[in-house]
Amino acid sequence: MKLSKKSAQALAEVNYDFFKPTVISTIIPYRVKEKTNIEDQIKPTLPSIIELYQMFDRINNEYFEGQLPQTKITYSTRMLIAGTFTPSKKEIRIGQKYHEIFPDDIEDTLKHEMIHIIHLNHDAAFKRLAAKIGASVKAKSHPSLRGKYKYLYYCPACGTEYARRKRLRMAYCGICCKGRRFDPRYKLKLKNSQS
């Protein structure tokens, strides 16, 4: 609804003193200069680096008896995953984009990456310790966390598609192959390439 200049001026001169404050706060200006997305305005506040170190120390004392070495903790604005641990740098990087979508998972991610200090791979020992301290083994999925792919492969048997950034050579369908053994019937085929 577009107001005339005269109506807009009359509206501006109205004295709102007799309205309750809750009513005043719901008045919307008649003209918005730019479109705004409410989801863009409401971003969760992630813990500061200092708070992450405090969380690290608490988890270390509570679950690891304070035995884990001090580790550098940083946020990464480029990563699309929850987190990563780099043993050579002794660094835990927390994915900022992931945790802006799932802010409640930050402690879980930190626990997961702290287990990687002891167990580098997701082996049986890693999974036992994760279950013991209440850390998840796998991060959540979200459409906005998918990176751009260059190659799209499919399984000729079941039709499952696999988007990849790098070219695959001897890849097979993980759904159709039993026992993780290569079977030429389930070798992935290139569907398209975005070169």
Question: What domain range is 76 assigned to?
Answer: 49-143
Can you give the pLDDT at residue 35? 47
Predicted confidence (pLDDT) per residue in 117-145, tens digit: 999 999 999 999 999 999 999 888 777 77
| Predicted confidence (pLDDT) at residue 106 exceeds the cutoff of 90 | yes
Percent of the chain scoring above 90 in pLDDT: 43
- The whole-angstrom separation of Cα 161 and Cα 155 is 7
135 and 167 assigned to the same domain:
no
Amino acid letter, 103: P
| pTM for the model | 0.59
Asked if residue 9 lies in contact with residue 30, where contact means CB atoms within 8 angstroms, the answer is no
Query: 164 φ, ψ to 5°?
Result: -135, 150
- Residue that terminates a domain, selected from 117, 143, 169: 143
Tokens of 119: 């167990």
Can you give the pLDDT at residue 31? 44
**Residue 35: inside a domain, yes or no?**
no
Give the strand order in the sheet containing 189-193.
161-164, 151-154, 189-193
For residue 65, how far is the Cα from the chain centroid? 29
Predicted confidence (pLDDT) per residue in 149-190, tens digit: 788 889 998 988 888 878 888 888 878 887 767 788 888 888
**Residue 37: inside a domain, yes or no?**
no
Predicted confidence (pLDDT) per residue in 32-71, tens digit: 444 445 444 455 689 999 999 999 999 999 999 999 999 9
- Residue that terminates a domain, selected from 124, 143, 162: 143
Can you give the pLDDT at residue 38? 46
